[in-house]
A and B are shown apart, each in its own frame.
Chain A
Amino acid sequence: MFESISQLLNESKANNISLHQLILKDESEYTHTPESKIIERLKKSLNVMKQSLEKALHSNNELPIMEASYQAKKLLSPGIFFGNSMKEAIGWAMAIAEYNSGMGLIVACPTAGSSGVLPAVLFKAKEILNKSNEDLVDALILAGAIGAIIGNQAMLSGSEGGCQAEIGVASAMAAASITYMANGSHEQISNAIALSLKNLLGLVCDPVAGLVISPCIKRNAIGVVNAFTAAEMALSGVTSIIPADEVIDAMMKVGRKLPYELKETGKGGIAGTKTAKRIKKRLFSEIE
């Protein structure tokens, strides 16, 4: 795996090899797996993502926190402020996240709680840009490498670094991969990562009653909007003053500094509100 975003981008430039090919070559060498096998496995992941979206849109999941159920479907109506397509994308992300909360089969990317962001962004970008399934695989390869770099330089879990390390990273992976899909330059990809991570820096992990439901499902929607925003900005030439690798370093430091109550313990933040405490009490008395 690559040490940093800059190492990945520089190596690709220096050797005049596309990012996905470079990552694929590295993955193949490191894991002693032929490239064709890796692509096969990526296609399997994409298929599961597709299936989870389709099943999510047709399922009637009742979640342990009842009032969090059936929210995604409300977004499948025409947009008021958003174009229909962006509204649909946030609906998709929430649908997959709801499906995950109801014990549906998903692809953790990077985590189960943030599993709606990447598929929603990738599938919507593919549709908007009219790209092929092969392009989708290439984008997914880049997303995986970006996630791994961030995981190694910082962390990939709410318990270690707050929600910035789940939805934040998912959003950065998505932003990078669609900037790539839209033929963005290496600099633009780097900017998309920096911008998306910065926007969600410091986001805490505060699940009501400790369950992956609230506010997790809805944060998948903001991860999608943030990814499209960062990619749109980067592709328009907006630059991040702080390089991506330094943003990742800042994210790691913020994550470490976040107090225990705000790292998946279900104690602080939204989980610490009056209503959340009431829900928790109700939930655990119901099932005793």
Chain B
Amino acid sequence: MTVNKQNEDFGRAALPRRQADQQVSPTESIDASLRWPLFALFGGAALWLVAGSVLAMIASIKFHAPDFLAACPWLTYGRVQPAADDALLYGFCIPAGLGVALWLLAQLGQTPLRGAIVPVVAAKLWHLGVLIGLAGILSGNSTGFAWLEFPRAGSVILFFAYLLLALWAMMNFTARRERALFPSHWFLVAALFWFPWIYSTANLFLVAWPARGIVQAIIGWWFANNLIFIWLALVGIGVTFYFLPKFSGRPLQSYYLALFAFWTLILFGTWCGIPPGAPVPAWMPVLSSVAASLTLVPVFAVGVIAWQTLCGSTHCEPKGGPFCFIRFGFASFVLSSLMFIATACPRMSRVTEFTWVGPAQTQLQLYGFFAMTMFGAIYHLLPRVVGVELPFPKLARLQFWLLMLGVLLFIVPLAIGGVEQGMKLNNPNDIAFMDATKAMLPFLRTSTIGLLLILLGNLLFALNFFAMTFVWGKSLVKKAYTIVTAPLKNQEVKA
């Protein structure tokens, strides 16, 4: 695809031709400049993805047999469960998101990444931080705050690794040769500086110098909401807004609606997260509930953009291609956001709070929306970056089906069971707590099957990724070998 065509895809119908005609590097050199950073980011991410789903399986099996691995303190439910969540979020979602963002910024700006060694080192550091953090949780050194469980050593490393990666992405962004800004830019650039702010605030006021009493819980909710809802949405939607025009063959509909969605998302979404009825002064949960209902606006806007961009599309993508992942991810985003908004409304919250509806929504956001979108993006960009075709395209197709079924089997029972659990918990005169808990077990056990499918799908992703690096390495060796063993030219022999 030519540079011109590529730019026309992204919203700005009337790009200044002058800019597009300037001498831009060929796409290959941009892709090549990102090869090592993306290997480092995605490689570790693929490993953590598998590790996280194994940990989640262990946690889930405990609902079939509470005695399973109970003698081992490292694998007790209360440690394995947060470790699984953090391995997915910090191990896979964030590095994968950063990798895709690096690639997208370089592509949209038509600028190769300079000094690629720094993001490589930063990516290695990030994964080291995740390793230390997970070991900390499993050995009983968790901080005890949701989504912030990593002990101090781990989170300090994560913070500086992120700063380095974000800095390099920003340097690439400011040095871009294609000066026009696309909707994806706003979302991704905002996400780049979102994380350092919320992560440092949370670590300073919860771990280093803990705030007093209930203030901790409030800061904890603010952090979790800004990370799980806002950060993931910024990156995921930013990436989706790049791919929607690419797959449909028409520009994003429209630029101004995307601007509106961006503004309303960061304006309203950041105030969500304090549960109704929390033991805090009443203005906080009220404000949060109002903000949550206003968050319907950006979700609706994003939905309209996708609908109008995809409708009337003439392209026909093959099944299981990157587009399927991204389409499923997008549908999950809308669904999980609606769940999030509904459960923030006091009337609903009275039923769903403290039930499995909450974890179901979070997992839909993490797996259904974000991880799926990242799979799609990575399957799209990796062959271009590595210069090697996907080794097992059929397995990628299989992975899509496994993950789709897996996510549905994982989330739907938890959500339905959770609502039932909530209604039973609200009926204290007729239903004992034990019975409400027992009624949840069949749903939890069904969700184990979903997790198993997700685990298999994740294994296929890791297989595809590592097979690809292997094929690429082999081709390098072959090239080197042919150079070394090439017959000497006659001239040289004579001389």
Q: Do A and B bind each other?
A: no
B interface residues (Cβ-Cβ under 8 A, vs A)? none
